[in-house]
């Protein structure tokens, strides 16, 4: 299994997942954990986990269905985000499902890291 981390270091409300990288590497040293850019031909491995910021939540949550995300219609290339990318991959039959650990845009890094690690422990041997 791979753990993919998505975020933008330049945007305050989107960089928290990137700050979790060291804690995740320490907690799961034998697991492939990588920071990715979904705009660069990213196709997640089957059974993998994606950690990304999800606006509108106030705690760490596991999403297994893209319909659980409230997405606005895309009107320009600037609206192309991970959710849109995953929807496109599903329509193209490149992936059959998705597991996203949604991280709120703000919160205590230590608490959020502990919550994410707790969720991941259910899926990593």
**Residue 35 near residue 3 (C-beta atoms within 8 A):** no
pTM of the model: 0.85
Cα separation of 89 and 78, whole Å?
18
pLDDT tens string, the chain, 125 residues long: the values are: 899 999 888 888 889 999 999 999 999 999 999 999 877 788 888 889 999 998 889 999 999 887 765 455 544 444 457 777 787 888 888 888 889 999 999 999 999 999 999 999 998 86
Look at the chain and report how many structural domains it folds into: 1
Cα separation of 30 and 12, whole Å?
30
CATH code of 11's domain: 3.40.50.1450
Cα separation of 95 and 70, whole Å?
20
Q: The domain containing residue 93 runs over which residues?
A: 2-121
């Amino acid at each position: 299994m791979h753990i993919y981390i998505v975020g933008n270091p330049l945007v305050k409300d989107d960089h928290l997942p990137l700050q979790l990288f060291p804690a995740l590497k320490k907690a799961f040293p034998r697991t492939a954990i990588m920071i990715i850019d979904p705009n660069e031909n990213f196709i997640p491995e089957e059974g993998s986990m994606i950690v990304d910021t999800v606006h509108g939540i106030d705690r760490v949550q596991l999403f297994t269905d893209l319909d659980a995300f409230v997405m606005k219609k895309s009107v320009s290339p600037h609206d192309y985000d991970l959710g849109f990318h995953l929807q496109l991959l599903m329509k193209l039959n490149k992936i059959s499902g998705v597991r996203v650990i949604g991280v709120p845009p703000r919160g205590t890094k230590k608490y959020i890291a502990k919550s994410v690690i707790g969720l991941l422990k259910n899926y990593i041997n």
